[in-house]
Amino acid sequence: DAGVIQSPRHEVTEMGQEVTLRCKPISGHDYLFWYRQTMMRGLELLIYFNNNVPIDDSGMPEDRFSAKMPNASFSTLKIQPSEPRDSAVYFCASRETGVRGGYTFGSGTRLTVV
Amino acid sequence: SQKIEQNSEALNIQEGKTATLTCNYTNYSPAYLQWYRQDPGRGPVFLLLIRENEKEKRKERLKVTFDTTLKQSLFHITASQPADSATYLCARPSGNTGKLIFGQGTTLQVKP
């Protein structure tokens, strides 16, 4: 398995533009998580899905952020409009039901909003 | 609220020594704790899970302990090597949900 695949790896955009981050979880994993990491706040959970259904989006900063999971192999995180304070590394992670194993993280998308 | 606290100061040790990292949690004891390793520019990688009723767990040169009285987990790397240099993250589940809360991480630097 190629692991959790995120794209793009880097994204530089201008303030006000729409940004879409993509994630392909590991096949068979029924949980998918979106995290954001900054030096100040560390790893923060934004939203997570179970069997493609959003379960908890309480970490989504505001209405500018939205996430979808149209099927078991694909998820997007969209920011519209983007702001400089959204600059961070965004990670997608997946896991299967049960607690024997941990999360498998993707390599992340480094977002810079100028 | 449930929190995970790790020493934000970097830990510098000499190769061959044992590195010990600390993770403190607040509120009630979680059913388990997890430890991850993160290298620069990469996502965290899962290392170990220790359950509340397990005092200690080992994996090769790694050892994790879980002390519910002190509300603390210790992460040990014995015979440390420069390749062990990374940031190590502790995480706990949020209640009975499927989500994890992560600490800020402790950066370990092993010098040859």
Q: What is the pLDDT of residue A96?
A: 87
Query: Distance between CA atoms of B15 and B26, rounded to whole angstroms?
Result: 33
Each residue's pLDDT tens digit, B44-66:
999 999 999 998 999 999 999 99
Q: What is the mean pLDDT of residues A103-109?
A: 97
More confident residue, A104 or B27: A104
Mean per-residue pLDDT over chain B, rounded: 93
pLDDT confidence tier of residue A60, bands split at 50, 70 and 90:
very high
From the DSSP assignment, how many helices (H) and strands (E) are in chain A? 0, 11
Q: How large a percentage of chain A has pLDDT more than 70?
A: 97
Q: What is the pLDDT of residue B8?
A: 80
The answer to whether the Cβ–Cβ distance between A106 and B43 falls below 8 Å is yes
Residues whose CB is less than 8 angstroms from the CB of residue B76 and which lie 6 or more positions away in sequence, other chains included: B18, B19, B20, B21, B62, B63, B64, B65
Each residue's pLDDT tens digit, A3-34:
999 999 999 999 999 999 999 999 999 999 99
pLDDT confidence tier of residue B98, bands split at 50, 70 and 90:
confident
Q: What is the 3-state secondary structure (H, E, C) of A72-98?
A: CCEEEEEECCCCHHHCEEEEEEEECCC
- Whether the predicted pLDDT of B95 surpasses 90: no
From the list B31, B45, B99, the residue facing A48 with the nearest CB is: B99
For residue A6, how many C-alpha atoms fall within 13 Å in the half-sphere facing its CB?
A: 26
The answer to whether the Cβ–Cβ distance between A4 and B43 falls below 8 Å is yes
Nearest C-alpha neighbor of B48 from the set B80, B23, B11: B23
Burial of B96 (0-12, 13-18, 19+ CB in 10 A): exposed
Give A-chain residues touching B99 at CB under 8 angstroms.
33, 45, 48, 56
Residue A67 corresponds to which amino acid?
A
Q: What is the pLDDT of residue A99?
A: 59
Q: What is the pLDDT of residue B28?
A: 85
